[in-house]
Amino acid sequence: MTYRVTVGTPVSVRDGTQLATDIWRPETDTPVPALLVRNPYGRHQLANYGFTSPNIFRLVEAGYAVVLQECRGTFGSEGHYTPHIHEGADGADTVAWLARQEWCDGTVGTWGVSYLGMTQWQTAATGVPGLKAIAPSIASADLYRAPYYSPGGALSLDTVLMFATIMSANDALRDLACGTGDPAEPAAIGSAFDDLTAQASITPPTAHPALAARIPWIFGQAMGHPGRDETWRELSALDKAGSITVPALNIGGWYDPFAGETLRAYTEMKRHGGSPEARTGQRLIMGPWTHSSTTGVFPDRSFGFTASADAADMTGAHLAFFDRWLRGRDDPLDRPAPVRIFVMGTDRWRDEEDWPLPDTRYAPYHLDGPGPANTSSGTGTLTVKAPEDDCTDTYLYDPRRPVPTLGGSLMRPTGSAGPVDQRPVESRDDVLCFTSATLDTPVEVTGPVSATLFVSSSAPDTDFTVKLVDVHPDGRAINLCDGIQRMRYRDSLDTPEPMEPGTVYEITVDLIATANVFLPGHRILVEISSSNFPRYDRNSNTGGVIATEHDTQMSTAVNRIHRGPGHPSRITLPVITRETPVR
């Protein structure tokens, strides 16, 4: 097949701003469907279309026109870039423009990863005619819960600073290309990017002058609204689920910062989508991936060759999805189940009929042990049997000495994200460890994970973190999922409420989800503390505005976990009981 590439087509949106657009389309006299990608990182950087994205050449060879557009105010597009604000309207205007072109058959689909996925949700929420299907990957339809904050109300500091750094550098390069700007600025921003941990240590969090000058919305508007108020509700496409009438192919990774929102978009759209197609047409794929690595191979844990996005044929999944909804072919999606997940432990892909899995049994595993659970050498145990004795674990949380993040859902493009041995943090006296007995039979945990804790503190506000860990026979403690609860938001994300020092509160910590088989010889471990830095910002323990507080204003907190018959602290695991193949 031959195809034509038109570079730099200006597409005018409603306020007259022209957006730079490339069009790849088959050489044919018959109109074809269009697949749109809206990108703030540069439309000519083909690396931006990797990870879980489909292969552009295969899409064109399959008879689709592929349209690559730069978002307003980035690279070749006119206007000023402010994150997220214009994406809904600009996306809708572009879809309408595409549907009018003589080479287009009037149907449009969208695809893309990360920010490229968020633009899709915002476009779909406008209800624009012509848009028939979206394929957001490692993305979010609720910007508060990801990427900026979390289900528990803590700022996702590492993710926010990385995004701000990338966009600041791109903006500086754009100025240089236009003949303005400081030639030394991109290198200075790049140096900051090389050490995000040092950047994250700056207090207050808003004190990043090189970044704030370029992307003031993040350090002003985003950090200035730490609760999920009207600012965030207006930006949330998922809050407008009834206006979204198109099906979605949701793709995510178990170690991605957007994992929870990928899963939630699938479940919420099935319940509240604005059309039968939107409700029944949801599809979900979850792999053992981070935000920037989809190989399935990590220094401390390899999931095997079949774990990669390439081996899972993401292009084939996209083509089947678009063939169904843009071309009306009933057969492409008849065979695959609506949900496809990679189950770690057994390290295999598996098809399922829904998420959460219909045969899930939610099993409480209780925090127990005869004495203090501080460090992995303590006496904390994890049991299915309810404890008989009450106990209180106490530790000092000092925000100037936070528990460092080891792997997990970081966005940074290095080997530091994903499954990482947690033993270095388990020796700290501000980390509580509760470990099960060695397993004789496999235990599959696949689905949403949460912890119910009875807590108290000497401070008016503090955080509590929980981490689920798979301890291997060789001692490696591999993290699976984690969560954080900022206590001022324990009852509501939009109405902060201080703690009464010394009062015991029952809280639920959302650990998002996982899919893992704890194999015979392994142990199940739960870690509890009050910080996970720089994945999340540090709670200053003062009850003040954390984003504007210096480290000199921070206070230490004496935090306690209460457990036993009177305070049944526990983690609830989604247990799947099936015949499990053991590797």
Query: Which residues are tagged catalytic?
Result: 114, 256, 291
Distance between CA atoms of residues 101 and 132, nearest Å: 16
DSSP 264-300: HHHHHHHHH-SSHHHHH--EEEEES--SS--SSEETT
Q: Which of 57, 48, 54 is nearest to 75 (CA)?
A: 48
Q: What does the DSSP 8-state code read for residue 259?
A: H
Confirm if 137 and 53 have CB atoms less than 8 A apart: yes
Distance between CA atoms of residues 382 and 309, nearest Å: 35
As beta bridge partners, residue 516 has: 344, 445
Distance between CA atoms of residues 216 and 208, nearest Å: 10
Give the end-to-end CA distance of the chain in Å, rounded to a whole number. Answer: 44
Q: Which of 272, 268, 280, 277 is nearest to 242 (CA)?
A: 272
Q: What are phi and psi of 426, to 5 degrees?
A: -75, -5
Distance between CA atoms of residues 266 and 339, nearest Å: 10
Q: Which of 39, 222, 21, 217 is nearest to 115 (CA)?
A: 39
C-alpha angle 328-329-331 in degrees, rounded to nearest 5: 150
Distances (CA, A) of 459 to 364, 394, 455, 502: 29, 14, 12, 8
Return the structure tokens found at 537: 């910002």
Q: How many CB atoms lie within 10 A of CB 410?
A: 26
Task: Say if residue 9 is exposed, middle or buried (CB neighbours under 10 Å; 0-12, 13-18, 19+).
Answer: middle
Q: Which residues contact 474 (CB under 8 A, 6 or more apart)?
A: none
Distance between CA atoms of residues 298 and 303, nearest Å: 8
Distance between CA atoms of residues 548 and 204, nearest Å: 5
Residue type, 447: G
Q: Which residues contact 314 (CB under 8 A, 6 or more apart)?
A: 52, 53, 54, 251, 285
Return the structure tokens found at 173: 């390069």
As beta bridge partners, residue 575 has: 361, 445
Distance between CA atoms of residues 158 and 314, nearest Å: 28
Grouping H, G, I as helix, E, B as strand and the rest as coil, residue 466 is: strand
Residue type, 459: A
Q: Residue 336's Cα: distance from chain center in Å?
A: 25
Confirm if 352 and 341 have CB atoms less than 8 A apart: yes
Distances (CA, A) of 180 to 183, 257, 316, 347, 506: 9, 35, 44, 52, 56
Distances (CA, A) of 545 to 83, 205, 488, 541, 550: 23, 11, 11, 10, 10
